[in-house]
Chain A
Amino acid sequence: MNGTVEPILTVEHLTMRFGGLVAVDDLSFSARPGDITALIGPNGAGKTTVFNCITGFYKPTVGMIRLAHPDGKTFLLERLLDFRISQRARGSRTFQNIRLFQGMTVLENLMVARHNPLMLASGFTLFGMLGLRTFTNAERAAIDMAKYWLDKIGITSRADDPAGDLPYGAQRRLEVARAMCTEPVLLCLDEPAAGLNARESAELNELLLFIRAEHATSILLIEHDMSVVMEISDHIVVLDYGVKIADGAPAAIRDDPRVIAAYLGVDDEEIADVEAEVGT
């Protein structure tokens, strides 16, 4: 960490227990603003649990999660309740399995994410009922924003189709676009490339790099697809069995023996050693 920059997300001593199972054990890391930070690790390493703590699904057993806005405001995410994380702290997320509003149109999916600005503009429904200019303008602005993102993810022509009818890759990108419509400071993506083919995966990389370049949004990413992780992330945190085993730049992570051991298992000789110890 190059000490001068205030990290956007700081996780300190995060521990999450489910009964006797320790899913995440004393995890500390931080993410710099404007970076794409990747959280990787073998299956069951506790990556999604960390995400669930950050986005308010779980209340961590121990630990602190601090989100700092560029304007200096800070939020303790473990204390905020669900929709307030999006509304006030401006953290947004996507899921491993796609969770679009399948029956609503593509445009409506993005418009729902503009709930809060529209809510303010509509004076909590009242102005909207009266049809005041402030609300109609805000509604138009929301549509413009939705159009901007539809254009970016290349599905403008399908704006009025049900979201569930889109091809898989487009649904993934729509999810990212919907999250971006809440104008987040931190965007958390849980395996955005899961199930994508090489071309769709490349389109997604492009979208994420575009978000990093053009918007003041930092990205926290869980990913299995190493081509995605190594290509776009600036910083990688590796988890194994709920414990952080490495933390650094992609190049350093790639060569880290502990990471290789966690992903590929240990060498044959070591297995022999272990077996000798156990006495089989």
Chain B
Amino acid sequence: MEIFVQQLINGITLGSIYGLIAIGYTMVYGIIGMINFAHGDVFMVGAFLALIAFLALVAIGVTAVPLALFLVLLIAMALTSLYGWTVERLAYRPLRHSFRLAPLISAIGMSIVLQNYVQIAQGARVKPLPPLIQGGYTLIDNDVFIVRLSNVQILVVVTTLALMAVFSWVIARTRLGRDMRACEQDLKMASLVGVDVDRTISLTFVIGAALAAVAGIMTLLYYGVIDFYIGFVAGVKAFTAAVLGGIGSLPGAMLGGLLIGLIETFWSAYFSSEYKDVAAFSILIIVLIFLPTGILGRPEIEKV
């Protein structure tokens, strides 16, 4: 029981991070039908930018943790958005009207470029960050087992929920969201009623990258270490989450992220931590066999 509660807490935290990244995959897929394989690496860049911003702030004497955290959030989101925008502009937009595989290959290339760029610029070694947010609550404490809910976990989950709420509101209620949904449904028609499609697509990448940056900060705070390779694994997991939830569906991405996080932690706790990735991907395969469009995905209706 205690183990279960503890793993539930851990799983939700991890799942929140996956969910934030998965939104980036699902949005881009929804709007231009392409898997942005570089998205995981944009997340990694976000984590690095956050780390650099932290160290810079400390160097100029901003040491109050809440203020520093807030500034880091803003800086990392802004700069990572710039990365997201640039990736789209350089690697995908010129290939927009090319054959379908071209931007996909370009995305894989971009992923490798970003990884190597960070490896060269920052070194291959693991970068640590001393725990900034300490403490937490002990929920259950018997002699055998202690269930803890740390402040970092609370921060991760609350921030994620808040961001997802804001984001869902933007999509459902604002002009930008309306344009994005229109582009998602029919790119050509959206441009014919006057929507600047290129700009809307750029903004999609920017928003996806900003959310990935937040996920990067969360990872940094939660694990305390990052390296240039975290983008690959997290990216693949988040992509899996997006597919599991139904690619193209926003609530699906959030749900998928949560599920992947939970599956992973529970599997590690009860079976074996070496095979946690195998478990996550096996579940994906099983779900796709029975629900090819994912849990919340809509079946593709052929246009006549």
Instruction: Output the least CB separation between A68 and chain B (Å).
Output: 20
A97: chain B residues at CB < 8 Å are 303-304
Q: Could you give, for residues 115-157 of chain A, a 1 whenever the CB lies within 8 Å of some chain B CB and a 0 otherwise?
A: 1101100100100100000000001000000000000000000
A78 CA / B255 CA spacing, docked (Å): 46
Q: Which of A103, A125, A178 contacts B193 (CB 8 A)?
A: A178
Tell yes or no: A48 within 8 A of B by CB: no
A115 x B193 contact (CB < 8 A): yes
Tell yes or no: B188 within 8 A of A by CB: yes
Tell yes or no: B175 within 8 A of A by CB: yes
Q: Which of B186, B197, B304 contacts A83 (CB 8 A)?
A: B197
Tell yes or no: A113 within 8 A of B by CB: yes
Tell yes or no: A30 within 8 A of B by CB: no
B191 x A104 contact (CB < 8 A): no
B192 x A55 contact (CB < 8 A): yes
A103 CA / B191 CA spacing, docked (Å): 17
A93: chain B residues at CB < 8 Å are 192
A202 CA / B264 CA spacing, docked (Å): 61
B186 x A99 contact (CB < 8 A): yes
A55 CA / B176 CA spacing, docked (Å): 24
Tell yes or no: A49 within 8 A of B by CB: no
A104 x B185 contact (CB < 8 A): yes
B193 x A104 contact (CB < 8 A): no
Interface residue tally for chain A (C-beta within 8 Å)? 32
Contacts A103-B181, A104-B181, A122-B175; A112 near B193 (Cβ below 8 A): yes
Contacts A82-B188, A101-B182, A102-B185; A113 near B193 (Cβ below 8 A): yes
B176: chain A residues at CB < 8 Å are 125, 128
B188: chain A residues at CB < 8 Å are 57, 82, 99
A102 CA / B304 CA spacing, docked (Å): 13
Tell yes or no: A10 within 8 A of B by CB: no
B185 x A101 contact (CB < 8 A): yes
Contacts A82-B191, A116-B194; A108 near B186 (Cβ below 8 A): no
Chain A stretch 58-112: residues in CB contact (< 8 A) with chain B: 82-83, 85-87, 92-93, 95, 97, 99, 101-104, 108, 111-112
A171: chain B residues at CB < 8 Å are none
Tell yes or no: B174 within 8 A of A by CB: yes
A268 CA / B132 CA spacing, docked (Å): 93
Q: Could you give, for residues 166-205 of chain B, a 1 whenever the CB lies within 8 Å of some chain A CB and a 0 otherwise?
A: 0000000011101101100110111111111100000000
Q: Which of B175, B178, B195, B197 contacts A104 (CB 8 A)?
A: B178
Contacts A97-B303, A104-B178, A128-B175; A82 near B185 (Cβ below 8 A): no
A82 x B192 contact (CB < 8 A): yes
A112: chain B residues at CB < 8 Å are 178-179, 182, 190, 193, 195
B179: chain A residues at CB < 8 Å are 112, 115
B194: chain A residues at CB < 8 Å are 83, 86-87, 113, 115-116, 182
Chain A stretch 148-171: residues in CB contact (< 8 A) with chain B: none
Instruction: Output the least CB separation between A230 and chain B (Å).
Output: 28
A99 CA / B182 CA spacing, docked (Å): 11
A128 x B189 contact (CB < 8 A): no
A111 x B192 contact (CB < 8 A): no
A104 x B182 contact (CB < 8 A): yes
Q: Could you give, for residues 225-269 of chain A, a 1 whenever the CB lies within 8 Å of some chain B CB and a 0 otherwise?
A: 000000000000000000000000000000000000000000000
A99 x B193 contact (CB < 8 A): no
Instruction: Output the least CB separation between A219 and chain B (Å).
Output: 16
A87 CA / B179 CA spacing, docked (Å): 15
Chain A residue at minimal CB-CB distance from B194: A86
Tell yes or no: A16 within 8 A of B by CB: no
A179 CA / B190 CA spacing, docked (Å): 11
A87: chain B residues at CB < 8 Å are 194, 196
A139 CA / B182 CA spacing, docked (Å): 17
Contacts A112-B179, A115-B175; A103 near B197 (Cβ below 8 A): no
B195: chain A residues at CB < 8 Å are 83, 112, 115
B192 x A86 contact (CB < 8 A): yes
Chain B residue at minimal CB-CB distance from A111: B178
A residues engaging B (CB < 8 A)?
A: 55, 57, 82-83, 85-87, 92-93, 95, 97, 99, 101-104, 108, 111-113, 115-116, 118-119, 122, 125, 128, 139, 178-179, 181-182
Q: Nearest 5 A-B pairs (CB), nearest first?
A: A86-B194, A83-B191, A113-B193, A82-B191, A101-B185
Given A97-B304, A118-B175, 5 more pairs with CB closer than 8 A? A87-B196, A99-B189, A115-B194, A115-B196, A125-B176
| Sample (28) of A-B pairs whose CB atoms are under 8 Å apart | A55-B192, A57-B188, A82-B192, A82-B197, A83-B194, A83-B197, A86-B192, A86-B193, A86-B194, A93-B192, A99-B188, A101-B190, A103-B181, A104-B181, A108-B181, A108-B182, A111-B178, A112-B178, A113-B193, A115-B175, A115-B179, A115-B194, A118-B175, A119-B196, A122-B175, A128-B176, A179-B193, A181-B193
